[in-house]
Each structure stands twice: as C-alpha cells, then as structure tokens.
C-alpha cells in the first residue's frame, strides 16, 4: 500500500506547536521504512493519521488511493493493516494464542469461532501461529493468559497478531521497546521478512533503524532526514539539532 502525505499538519487542541507540521512524504508500496526522532516529534501521530485516529488540520493523506477521513475507505485501510501499538492492546483474560489470532476474526466461520470460544486456535492458523511464535520465542507461553506474560512477551504476541493476517501494510510503533537484543532482532527479522508488504516502524534504537532500507526522521513535527544511510552525525543532528552543515 502506498502512503502519500502532502503538506500534512496536525495541531492538538490546547497545544501551541503542531504535532505534525507540513509533512510531505511518499512511502511506496512494499517499501520498508523506519521513523526516527526525539520523543514527541510526531511519529505516533503520523501513524494515527494513517489509521484515521487523528484528523489532520490541513494537507492531504492518501493510503492506497483511499482517504482515511471517509469511513468506508478507512474500513478498507484498517482491514488491510496490521498494527503493533506502543504499550500494546491485548485482551486480558484471553490466552496469548487467542490474542494472536484476533486479527484474523473478520474471516472466521462458525467452526473457527467455536474453536476460539474453546480457547483453541482455528485449525487453518495453527501451523503459522506456531511458526511465528517459534520465531519470536513465545511458543511456550501461547496457552498462558496474556496478563501473566512479561511486557516483552506481550509485545511479541502483539507482533504475531499484526503479522498473522498477512496485511498489506504493517504499522509497528516501537515494536522492540522492552525487548532484549536477541528478541528485538527476531522482531526486526519478522518485520523485514514481510516481502511485498509496506512496513512502517518507529524506534529510538539506531542499530535497529539501520537495518531498514529507508530512514525518515522527524523533529518538532517536521521531516528533518530522509535517506538510506544514517551516519552518527546525522543521528546527532536528528536528536540534538546541533550539527551545522556546510
Ligand atoms: N491526543 C493528544 N492530545 C494532545 N497532544 C498530543 C496528543 N497525542 C500526541 N500529542 C502531542 O503531540 C506531539 C507528538 O506526539 P507523538 O506521540 O506523535 O510523538 P512521538 O514522536 O511518537 O513520541 P515518542 O517517541 O515519545 O513515542 C507531542 O508533543 C505530544 O505531546
């Protein structure tokens, strides 16, 4: 799915400075992009605009030819989008494996609903849930209730849930926060292996950012870097705005 922003601005009520300030950006279909930038620079707001959760004040946003401001088009965008949210939003009281399959519910028939109500994974997803859970190292916890998992384990359940329906667009907001280096690497691998899928990931971890072919950085709601290689000087400039370029 292509994401096209032109002059997009968002100012939240009771805020003086905009969260997004005249952002123009094209993310091509199947491109893998990382969003960097200091805390509060607008990364999550950009993702929330794509999901129709924040309405821009001005500018245009087109997602795969669709307008998130139109309810029917927004439904189509959301149907095709897998999301990993900060502080994820798993359903307590349900097992990890049940949470992991929730993103596929629009396609469930009676038999699948019956399996889920019995706490099982619908038969046609068993193999893939197991493979994704293996890749993320959470297979031993699949039958546990999510509230009994650690933050990092829950984060990985949320990633499996986002990827399982094979969406055309993956939006992952700090998917590796709280993960140790090995599990963070497994999460990055799963995202980078999503061939043909548009992947947009936010992170504060430069070593993770550098594993993506395109890095876009925001500072104070504006794009301040867009490139394929991020030098230490670029990173310093993004986070501190201190580098004076010739
Ligand atoms: N619902 C809201 N109401 C008011 N202000 C908001 C709201 N959501 C975000 N903001 C403000 O908009 C700015 C951008 O926030 P955003 O969450 O997009 O930043 P971010 O780059 O994702 O930060 P972080 O790296 O900390 O997650 C911040 O100043 C934030 O306080």
What is the arithmetic mean of pLDDT over 224-238?
91
Q: Is 164 helix (H, G, I), strand (E, B) or coil?
A: coil
Predicted confidence (pLDDT) per residue in 46-67, tens digit = 999 999 999 999 999 999 999 9
Q: How confident is the model at residue 242 (pLDDT cuts 50, 70, 90)?
A: low
| Pairing of the two strands 32-36 and 198-202 | parallel
Predicted confidence (pLDDT) per residue in 163-184, tens digit = 999 999 999 999 998 899 999 9
DSSP of 210-231, one letter per residue?
Answer: TTSSEEEEEETTEEEEEES---
pTM of the entire predicted model = 0.93
* Residues 170 and 106 sit within 8 Å (Cβ to Cβ): no
Query: Encoding tokens for residue 30?
Result: 């199947």
- 40 CB less than 6 Å from ligand 1? yes
pLDDT at res. 246: 44
Dihedral sign (CA 101, 105, 106, 110): positive
Token pair 């927004």 is found at 74
Give CA–CA dist 105/101, Å, rounded.
7
* Residue nearest to ligand 1 atom 24, measured at CA: 39
Spans of all domains in the chain: 3-91+151-240
| Pairing of the two strands 198-202 and 169-173 | parallel
* Residues 199 and 112 sit within 8 Å (Cβ to Cβ): no
Query: Encoding tokens for residue 104?
Result: 């596929």
Q: pLDDT averaged over the chain?
A: 93
Please give the span between the terminal C-alpha atoms of the chain, in angstroms, as a whole number. 37
85, pLDDT greater than 70: yes
The answer to which of 13-27, 156-170, 232-246 has the lowest mean pLDDT is: 232-246
Atom of ligand 1 nearest to the CA of 221: 14
Query: Encoding tokens for residue 82?
Result: 């897998």
Atom of ligand 1 nearest to the CA of 46: 18
Q: How confident is the model at residue 86 (pLDDT cuts 50, 70, 90)?
A: confident
Token pair 């993956």 is found at 170
| Pairing of the two strands 3-10 and 20-27 | antiparallel
CB atoms within 10 A of CB 41: 23
Separation of CA 44 and ligand 1 centre (Å): 7
Predicted confidence (pLDDT) per residue in 128-165, tens digit = 999 999 999 999 999 999 999 999 999 999 999 999 99
* Residue nearest to ligand 1 atom 12, measured at CA: 19
3-91+151-240 CATH fold: Rossmann fold (3.40.50)
């Amino acid at each position: 799915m292509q994401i096209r922003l032109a002059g997009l601005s968002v100012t939240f009520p009771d805020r003086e400075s905009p969260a997004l300030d005249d952002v123009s950006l094209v993310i091509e279909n199947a491109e893998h992009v990382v969003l960097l930038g200091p805390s509060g620079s607008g990364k999550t707001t950009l993702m929330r605009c794509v999901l129709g959760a924040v309405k821009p004040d001005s500018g245009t946003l087109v997602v795969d030819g669709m307008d998130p401001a139109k309810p029917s088009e927004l439904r189509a965008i959301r149907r095709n989008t897998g999301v990993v949210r900060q502080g994820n939003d798993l359903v307590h009281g349900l097992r990890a494996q049940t949470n992991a399959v929730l993103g596929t519910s629009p396609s469930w028939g009676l038999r699948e609903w019956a399996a889920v109500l019995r706490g099982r994974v619908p038969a046609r997803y068993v193999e893939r849930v197991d493979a994704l859970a293996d890749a993320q190292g959470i297979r031993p916890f699949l039958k546990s209730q999510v509230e009994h998992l650690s933050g990092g384990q829950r984060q990985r359940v949320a990633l499996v849930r986002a990827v399982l329906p094979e969406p055309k667009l993956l939006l992952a907001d700090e998917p590796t926060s709280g993960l140790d280096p090995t599990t963070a690497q497994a999460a990055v691998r799963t995202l980078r292996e999503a061939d043909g899928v548009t992947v947009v990931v936010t992170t504060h971890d430069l070593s993770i950012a550098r594993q993506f072919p395109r890095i876009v950085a925001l500072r104070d709601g504006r794009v301040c870097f867009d490139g394929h290689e991020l030098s230490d000087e670029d990173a310093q400039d993004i986070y501190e705005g201190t580098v004076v370029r010739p």
